[in-house]
Amino acid sequence: MPGLAEVTIERCADHASAIEDHLSQACHRSFEEGRQHEAAEARQRRQSFELETEKQTEAVLRTLNNAIPQLLKEAETTLKALAVSIAEQFVAASPIDEQRIQHLVEETLREVKDSTKVVIHLHPDDLALIEGSLDRLKATAAHPESIRFQAASNLTRGGCHIDTEFGNLDATIEAKSSRIHSLITEPDLTL
């Protein structure tokens, strides 16, 4: 039979083993609670981050949605100004020669084909270019006998001004540029 000391030692060993088991279980519980607490905090941080990211994304999209129409309007205005500039440069760079002036006169005569009194005002240098073609140009009109050519030094080369019994026709370079500018920059024109 075991003695008192041996029984006490055995009980102490059993008690120490129970304490060790209890401490081990408490440590595992504490670790699991800490892990669950950290996981919950991580979920909360992730949800806060996602919510903030969503708000920032929506703000960026609103800013872009507000900015895009303005950018398009500015681009349209710039493109229209560029188109006007190109058209004006094209007109200005076109050589003023006999063929161009003849074409101008033929075009304007078509505009006033029903007129019985026509005076075509041309810059003196342009009139000199087509001097040899005046009869042929008059012959293209419905009433060739009613057409007169007159030098006008106040006109820019490459254009003309026509007086008829019905009114005037402004085919000057300045008027053409103005019409081009109006056509391109009118508000209803969409590029």
- Tell me how far apart the alpha carbons of residues 33 and 98 are, in angstroms, rounded to a whole number: 99
Q: Which two tokens stand for residue 161?
A: 């001004």
d(CA 38, CA 44): 10
pLDDT in tens, 114-166: 888 999 999 999 999 999 988 888 888 888 888 999 999 999 899 899 999 98
Confidence (pLDDT) at 33: 81
Q: Which CATH superfamily is domain 96-185 in?
A: ATP synthase, E subunit, C-terminal (3.30.2320.30)
What is the per-residue DSSP string for 124-181? HHHHHHTGGGHHHHHHTSSSGGGEEEEE-TTSPTT-EEEEETTEEEEE-HHHHHHHHH
List, in order, residues 6 or more apart from 98 with CB less than 8 Å away: 129, 130, 133
Q: Which residue has the tokens 């209890």?
A: 22
In this prediction, the residues of the chain whose per-residue pLDDT falls under 50 are 191
Task: Supply the pLDDT for residue 191.
Answer: 47
- Asked if residues 160 and 104 have their Cβ atoms less than 8 Å apart, the reply is yes
User: Could you identify the residue written with the tokens 């075509």?
Assistant: 120
Residue 2 tokens read as 């075991």
3-state SS, residue 19: helix
- What pLDDT, on a 0 to 100 scale, did the predictor assign at position 78? 86
Residue 187 confidence (pLDDT):
64
What pLDDT is recorded for position 142? 81
Contact of 102 with 130, CB cutoff 8 Å: yes
The pLDDT of residue 149: 94
Helix axes 173-185, 4-93, angle to 10 degrees: 160
Structural domain spans, the chain: 1-93, 96-185
